[in-house]
Structure 1
Amino acid sequence: MKTERIALSTGVTLNVATAGPKDAPPVYLLHGFPESHRTWRGVMPMLEKDFRLVMPDQRGFAGSDKPHDLDDYRVDKLIADLLALADHQGHDKFALVGHDWGGAVAWAAALRGGPHIERLAICNSPHPLVYQKSIIDDEAQRAASQYIRRFRETGMEDRIREMGLDTFFEKSFSPHVDLAAIPDEERATYLEDWSGDGALEGMLAWYRMSPILVPAMDEDDVAYPEWMMSGVPTIRIPTAVVWGMDDPALLPCQLDGLEELVDDLSVTRIERAGHFGIWSHPVPFGKALHAFLSG
């Protein structure tokens, strides 16, 4: 795996990891919170022989630029980074894989119907329409999503620093994975990424700029937001959803109704894997992704 910082036409410089033959079919892999390109460390060995893997640290994360203006984290700018990176790499068409917030960017890019994405794979990241509806109507999912309200609070980054990054590490991952299974060097990499200037602010900006409405538990008669009422386009490209079924943040209800929103859909359920199954259970995720990306 090779990493380099690449200045994009969108005005940011991203730290980008690449692997696999340069002439192989390109696959762009987008990580989520609170991670980096290393999200894909477990599945990369299963994909790199047959695909050209491009794995950026998205803006606000790890080794990439961290703009200070919240407006710089609008979804259209996040998609623009992806397309600018593909243009820089000389890839007019590519497959797209996303996990968590990376999946949110991937869903949004596919919903815009551009000609660049040939295949879409999603790992534990909800379709925006399904997610928004469930947060309002499903009590269990609303409860599981209350952390978003806390991450949006003013001064949350300062409170994280006060509690200590070690404590934040444990709070972030202990509900999802066995902490003892995370090597010390991986823990050290996370702590180093989070301690950089503006790192916490950049990561939290993704929550603060998301259009998803998260009502408090005691709010009644919550109206659907306007964007939801206007509907979203049907996704026409082949799409695979690979889901860790023990995800406590994104419940299995996120799989309900997807077949009505995606024309060509396959769903693979990974039992006993949680939100970070992409690296805690890399073999079933890697096999599912390879099978789908191979067509």
Structure 2
Amino acid sequence: MQALREERIALSTGITLNVRLGGEGEPIVFLHGFPESHRTWRRQLADLVRDHFVVAPDQRGFAASDRPAAVEEYEADKIVSDLVALADALGLHGFTLVGHDWGGAVAWLAALTCPSRVKRLIIVNAPHPLVFQKSLIEDEAQRGASQYIRAFRNPAMERMIEAMGLETFFEKSFGAHVDLAAIPPEEKAAYLRDWSRPGALTAMLNWYRASKIEVPAVGEDAELPLWTRAPFPSLSVPTLVVWGMKDKALLPVQLDGLHDLVDDLRLVTVEEAGHFIPWERPEVVTGAIRDFIAETPSP
């Protein structure tokens, strides 16, 4: 059986990432979201390492990877640059890219800007940037569900989390969106250790602070940003979107219009799963990944 290992890999971007990787064969890169780490993908990695080269970094600011101090160091183009630099460091010209939550946001952008590198795109409960921004202006339910973004951008949020305690933050950040029985005790302990690292909370929250997505307050008059009214590039990369339909943060409106923005789209919806579907229904996510790779031409 192929073994997984962890390495710290220094990138040309000046960032060193902690990376879980192993196996042989066609490469798959996995990007996690907030407030997680490579551990999001533990079940997928354990399965797919049997016949693929799998790579799952702790993205900058998370877990054991570097945590630059400035907010602007978490802008999306810099995160995409980390991805490309990691692929370069591993000698990967083309790869299948999988992303969940913030990792999915990075994956959408990487596929749009680096289609020669991203051979297949797999998105797990992460909104397309154009659909998301429009929904935050035009859809009252989605705007209401996204008010946590405004809260996370609050400069006092770190102090609020420290005051409530990391145990309570764990229950709020996961427990509101997933049955905590799906999170083994050792995984919870690992997350609490990661969040206790110096500067960890600020680094994770800086992803929200650096984002250019506009989130108006509930009831606030708001107009669509100019960029959303301009022609938006269509994505030509074969794309699979896996969506837990009970997601309370990213509502099913995020699936509206995707076929107009993606030339080759496959959609798998899972009625009995929410935002953290890699934890709730890992076998469904892994199966969807395997099916998609089998159905699409080898890069």
Q: Same fold (TM over 0.5)?
A: yes
1:55–1:138 CA distance, 2 compared to 1 (3 A)? same
Distance 1:114 1:183 in 2: 37
Unaligned runs of 5+ in 1: none
Q: Is the contact between residue 246 and residue 273 of structure 2 (CA under 8 Å) also seen in structure 1?
A: yes
Mapped to 1, the partners of 2:232 and 2:73 lie a distance apart of: 23
Q: Is the 8 A contact 1:96 1:106 kept in 2?
A: yes
In structure 1, give the amino acid aligned to 2:8.
R
- Do 2:115 and 2:237's aligned partners in 1 also have CA atoms closer than 8 Å? no
Say whether 1:271 aligns with 2:271. Answer: yes
1:233 equivalent in structure 2: 233
The aligned counterpart of 1:256 is 256
| Bigger mean CA offset, 265-274 vs 177-186 | 177-186
Quick check: 1:11 aligned with 2:14?
yes
Counterparts of 2:47 and 2:5, CA distance in 1: 17
Runs of 4+ aligned residues of structure 1 deviating over 3 Å after TM superposition are: none
Partner of 1:172: 173
- Whichever residue aligns with residue 195 of structure 1, its letter is S
Alignment of 1:65-104 (within 5 A): 65-104=66-105
The SS at the match of 1:41 is helix
Partner of 2:108: 107
**Partners of 2:46 and 2:57 in 1: how far apart?**
17
2:189 equivalent to 1:188: yes
The CA distance in 2 between the partners of 1:176 and 1:153, in whole Å, is 22
Matched, 1:291 2:294: no
Conserved? CA contact 2:183–2:279, under 8 Å = no
CA contact (8 A) 1:120 1:237 kept: yes
Q: Taking every aligned residue pair, what percent have the same amino acid on both sides?
A: 58
Aligned counterparts of 1:178 and 1:91: Cα–Cα separation in 2:
37
SS in 2 for 1:279: helix
Following superposition, the deviation at residue 293 of structure 1 comes to 2.1
Q: CA deviation at 1:113?
A: 4.2
Q: How many angstroms does 1:57 deviate by?
A: 0.2
Q: Secondary structure at the match of 1:42?
A: helix
Paired residues for 1:90-169 under 5 Å: 90-169=91-170
Deviations 1:86-108 (A, max 9, x none): 00000111110100000000001
Consecutive unaligned residues in structure 2, runs of 5 or more: none
Q: TM-score, normalised by structure 1?
A: 0.97
Number of residue-to-residue matches in the alignment: 292
Q: Distance in 2 between matches of 1:45 and 1:290?
A: 13
Deviation track 1:150-178 (CA, whole Å, cap 9, x = no partner) reads: 00011211111111000000000112111
Question: Relative to structure 2, which stretch is displaced further, 29-38 or 169-178?
Answer: 169-178
Task: Tell me the equivalent position of 2:245.
Answer: 245
Whether 1:282 and 2:285 are equivalent positions in the alignment is: no
Three-state SS of the structure 1 residue aligned to 2:167 is: helix
Aligned residue identity for 1:225: P
User: Which amino acid counterpart does residue 80 of structure 2 have in structure 1?
Assistant: I
Query: What is the DSSP-based 3-state SS (H/G/I as helix, E as strand, rest coil) of the residue aligned with 1:46?
Result: helix
The alpha carbon displacement at 1:147 in A equals 0.3
Asked if structure 2 preserves the Cα contact closer than 8 Å seen for 1:113 and 1:235, the reply is no
Distance 2:248 2:153 in 1: 20
Letter in 2 for 1:18: L
Note the alpha carbon deviations across 1:111-141, whole angstroms, 9 max, x for none: 1143111000000000000011111111111
Contact 2:6 2:20 in 1 (8 A): yes
Q: What is the alpha-carbon distance in structure 2 between the residues aligned to residue 289 and residue 181 of structure 1? A: 20
TM-score (norm 2): 0.96
The separation in 2 between residues aligned to 1:154 and 1:229, in whole angstroms, is 31
Across the aligned residues of Structure 1 and Structure 2, the Cα RMSD in angstroms comes to: 1.0
Partners of 1:170 and 1:57 in 2: CA distance: 22
CA 1:113 to 1:64, structure 2 compared with 1: closer, same or farther past 3 Å?
A: closer
